[in-house]
């Protein structure tokens, strides 16, 4: 019987690649989409790609910053697949700006989407795992949460919080057979980096030991490792090509 993974923010980007990679490895996949718009613009296609690997896949709409929507989605996923074996808290946003110019709304929005969502989903999906005394929780952090980053006060704070939450979850749930780890990506190739000038890309790459941007597949490899690791918990795996050594 296939295991089930639920991935938040999985309609596009890293989340969509995670979904397909887990499907390739025999997991049924719950694909969280923020809205009807993201369902139509990526979610359905991601689900179809997953099904192409012979597994079951379904999209679930929820704003994961909302506690009650996370509860409803968790129940829907369990109703569809029977359980949740792996939870990947991937959903997140950026609202970059220097501290002296950052608005309160920009700070609050990022904390809600990036940090509170992890609490919400861990609280509800964790309860499912507690009942069966097994499960893997993987939280998407960032090197910004480890070392800080100018212009990202809100984002760095949210990701540092994710790392702290990861350690606490690991300590609280470990005795019930549940592991919790974080992945901290560095500079990952994306539409955001594609539009940068060659000069800016050159400066960024000069700081990366491996001399290339990371890919969503690089992150997915780390996630698959953590999903199969029974004696690794409370850790933050940095996937940055040697950026922050």
Quote the tokens at residue 11.
């309609």
CA-atom Rg of the chain in angstroms: 17
Q: Does the active-site annotation cover 231?
A: no
Determine the Cα–Cα distance for residues 137 and 105; give it in Å rounded to an integer.
29
Sheet holding 28-33, edge to edge: 57-61, 28-33, 4-7, 86-89, 135-140, 178-185, 236-239
Quote the tokens at residue 7.
């991935």
Q: Which of 27, 34, 155, 231 is catalytic?
A: 155
In the chain, at which residue ranges do the beta strands (DSSP E only) sit?
4-7, 28-33, 57-61, 86-89, 135-140, 178-185, 236-239
Determine the Cα–Cα distance for residues 108 and 75; give it in Å rounded to an integer.
27
Q: Which residues are catalytic?
A: 155
């Amino acid at each position: 019987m296939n295991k089930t993974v639920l991935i938040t923010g999985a309609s596009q980007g890293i989340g969509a690649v995670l979904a397909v990679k887990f499907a390739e490895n025999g997991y049924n996949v719950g694909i969280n989409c923020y809205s009807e718009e993201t369902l139509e613009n990526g979610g359905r296609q991601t689900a179809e790609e997953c099904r192409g690997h012979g597994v079951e896949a379904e999209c679930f709409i929820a704003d994961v910053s909302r506690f009650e929507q996370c509860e409803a989605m968790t129940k829907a996923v369990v109703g569809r697949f029977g359980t949740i074996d792996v939870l990947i808290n991937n959903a997140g946003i950026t609202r970059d700006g220097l501290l002296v110019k950052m608005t309160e709304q920009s700070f609050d929005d990022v904390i809600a989407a990036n940090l509170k969502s992890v609490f919400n989903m861990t609280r509800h999906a964790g309860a499912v795992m507690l009942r069966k005394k097994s499960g893997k929780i993987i939280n998407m952090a960032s090197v910004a949460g480890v070392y800080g980053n100018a212009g990202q006060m809100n984002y760095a704070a949210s990701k540092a919080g994710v790392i702290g939450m990861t350690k606490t979850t690991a300590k609280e749930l470990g005795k019930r057979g549940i592991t919790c780890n974080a992945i901290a990506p560095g500079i990952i190739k994306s539409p955001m980096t594609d539009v940068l000038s060659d000069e800016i890309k050159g400066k960024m790459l000069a700081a990366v030991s491996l001399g290339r941007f990371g890919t969503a597949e690089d992150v997915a490899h780390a996630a698959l490792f953590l999903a199969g690791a029974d004696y690794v918990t409370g850790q933050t795996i940095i996937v940055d090509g040697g950026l922050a050594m």
